[in-house]
Structure 1
Amino acid sequence: MITYIFEFIGTAMLILIGNGIVANLVLKGTKGGDSGWVGISIAWGLAVFIGVFISADISGAHLNPAVTIGLATAGKFSWTLVPGYIVAQVLGAMMGNLLIWLTYKKQYEATENSDAILGTFSTSPAIRSPFWNMVTEVIGTFALVFGVFYIAGSKMGEETISLGAVDALPVAFLVMGIGFGLGGPTGYAINPARDFGPRLLHALLPIKNKGNSDWGYAWVPIIGPIIGSILAAFLYLLIESLH
């Protein structure tokens, strides 16, 4: 049970800091409106660092169903734990965004742009093309999960691998690099819980001018990252089989 709790806490911190910078950037009446994409990419890297550092030694700091599924596919994490981890990650993501809403309550009330409001919860494409948006998410998540395998490389020989606290910084740099290099087309969800949990919360909260939750796009940041994580696991297994 404690592992699920720390997975929940780590994911909540990830979303609180990561989507917090988005809220600071796009909502009306904040002091962070000039942060731009650089600020978003750096903030998400810091968010990953904080989330991983807090939860690594207890839960392994997956914070992402794609990471959990990728590790399980590679035989490095028990499939019996996967459902509980995913539930903890989704609930943690919802909690993180709930705290953002409470923090920026007056700014949400002052913001009339429904797209900006939704952007503080979930991702959306710069150019809507569901297939190619999914390809972007597949590639970005492949880079993330494949990188995680080798960042946790010292533990690869064990039955189960997970990120330790010392791995928090390189994973943060990895996510930051994905944001700078691959994040422009879709906002780089690369994490089904990061998108689905806050999107569900957006649908439930009584937010003025919030518009719809764009459920027609919601499958892209779920399916794309899952495919990317499985491909990363298969490549890792292939490389390992050649050793």
Structure 2
Amino acid sequence: MTTDVAAPTPVKAPAEFSVVAKLVAEAFGTFLLAYAGLGVALFSSPSSAPIPTPFAVGLSIAVGIAAVGHISGGHFNPAVTLGLAVAGRTNWRLVPGYIASQLVGGLVGTLILWVTIRTLPSLSSGNSSQTIFTQLSNGFDDLSPSKFPMAAGLLAEVVATAVFVAIILFVTSKRAVKGMAPWAIGLGLSILVQAIAPITNASLNPARSTATAVFAQGNAFGQLWLFWVAPVLGAVLTGLIFRGFGSSDELHGATAGGVGDLTAEATRDDGTRVSETSVAPAEAGRGDARDAGVREPGSAPAAEAEPAPAADPATAEPAPETERAPERTADDDARDFFDKDR
């Protein structure tokens, strides 16, 4: 009698978001930061909108990560993108597109604020709107809120951005508490913005600095270089430290670049690769059938093996139970915001 063994269905890798979807998500998150975070700083007053500006900036980042972080990783910051790429958490092929999308999103959000200001008759002139955005921009010396020199601004931005990227790397670790990443990152940013706001007006983000400097006076745009150099330097330093001393299984793992990057290869948040957990293909199933003595259709009959002598029930040892893979629970299926299966 011939018995056919059905080949098991291989486990498919989770569907991956397209590069276009990731770029749109990065643009949206940076737009939210510029429009909402800077909008609070521009229009709020203690009586009408009591939310402090640093908290509004951090909250806008947290909401953006919670909304689209599972698509792109929720960077919204060129310095963060570069720092995570150096740390091995983001594929380098995504870096140019991410930075371009972040710049576009920040500029669009700030443009809407600029157009809104221009609708007021008292602020319709170009000089008035430029003065407002100059006060909103980052700067040192005369443009510093407390007149701090360039050296102080450089040091503050490097250290604050390095700490911010460290928070991101730690809270998105595979060992971190699930679901806490957006809020830990947002609150951490709020604290850091509050700490260095009197020094440079708190950038930590080249896209945010560029967005306001474009609509400000020329001296603000002339100081923009520092708010690219300092945040990128701080982020890269943290990325290098993490790559040199961090756990090796964190590299290319639960990344802030999304599932399925070439460096992540559809890595799950529990560290198990889909390719390793896939069920054996049909050929392996047929091999198991042959080992079990089941003849495949069309194949020559195998020589009959001599029956093994019957074991004495009194002396025979019980056969060990077949090891089974542990069943996944609901907790195991929980996905991290930065590495969610789709």
| Aligned equivalents of 2:152, 2:50: Cα separation in 1 | 21
| Aligned equivalents of 2:153, 2:204: Cα separation in 1 | 11
- Give the corresponding residue for 1:14: 33
Identity of aligned residues (%): 24
| Aligned equivalents of 2:106, 2:169: Cα separation in 1 | 23
Q: Are 1:38 and 1:180, in contact at CA under 8 Å, matched by a contact in 2?
A: no
| Aligned equivalents of 1:151, 1:16: Cα separation in 2 | 26
After TM superposition, the runs of 4+ consecutive aligned structure 1 residues lying more than 6 A away are 33-38
- Give the corresponding residue for 2:200: 186
Residues 43-62 of structure 1 mapped to structure 2, 5 A cutoff: 43-62=56-75
Residue 42 (structure 1) shift: 1.3
| Aligned equivalents of 1:61, 1:241: Cα separation in 2 | 22
Instruction: Select which of 135, 150, 155 maps to 1:119.
Output: 135
Over the aligned positions, Cα root-mean-square deviation in angstroms equals: 2.8
TM-score w.r.t. length of structure 1: 0.81
Map Cα deviations across residues 179-220 of structure 1 (whole Å, 9 max, x no partner).
Answer: 2223321111001111113322x1xxxxxxx64352221111
Q: Which runs of 5+ in 1 are unaligned?
A: 26-31, 157-163, 203-209
| Aligned equivalents of 1:64, 1:20: Cα separation in 2 | 18
SS, match of residue 153 in structure 1 = coil
Quickly say closer, same or farther: Cα 1:2–1:241, change in 2 above 3 A: closer
SS, match of residue 198 in structure 2 = coil
- Give the corresponding residue for 2:24: 5
1:103 aligns with 2:116: yes
| Aligned equivalents of 1:185, 1:227: Cα separation in 2 | 18
Q: Are 1:14 and 1:50, in contact at CA under 8 Å, matched by a contact in 2?
A: no
Map Cα deviations across residues 40-70 of structure 1 (whole Å, 9 max, x no partner).
Answer: 1111111112222222011110000111000
Residue 105 (structure 1) shift: 3.0
- Give the corresponding residue for 1:227: 233
Quickly say closer, same or farther: Cα 1:58–1:93, change in 2 above 3 A: same
Letter in 2 for 1:75: G
Instruction: Select which of 223, 245, 248 maps to 1:217.
Output: 223
Quickly say closer, same or farther: Cα 1:123–1:57, change in 2 above 3 A: same
| Aligned equivalents of 2:248, 2:21: Cα separation in 1 | 37
Residues 127-166 of structure 1 mapped to structure 2, 5 A cutoff: 127-154=147-174, 166=180
TM-score w.r.t. length of structure 2: 0.59
Q: Are 2:157 and 2:231, in contact at CA under 8 Å, matched by a contact in 1?
A: yes
Q: Which runs of 5+ in 2 are unaligned?
A: 1-19, 250-342
| Aligned equivalents of 1:75, 1:69: Cα separation in 2 | 10
Residue 10 (structure 1) shift: 0.9
Bigger mean CA deviation after superposition, 82-91 or 69-78 = 69-78
- Give the corresponding residue for 2:264: none
Residue 139 (structure 1) shift: 0.7
User: Over alpha carbons, which structure has the higher Rg?
Assistant: 2
Residue 35 (structure 1) shift: 8.4
SS, match of residue 223 in structure 2 = coil
Q: Are 2:114 and 2:129, in contact at CA under 8 Å, matched by a contact in 1?
A: no
SS, match of residue 75 in structure 1 = coil
| Aligned equivalents of 1:223, 1:36: Cα separation in 2 | 34
Q: Are 2:34 and 2:110, in contact at CA under 8 Å, matched by a contact in 1?
A: yes
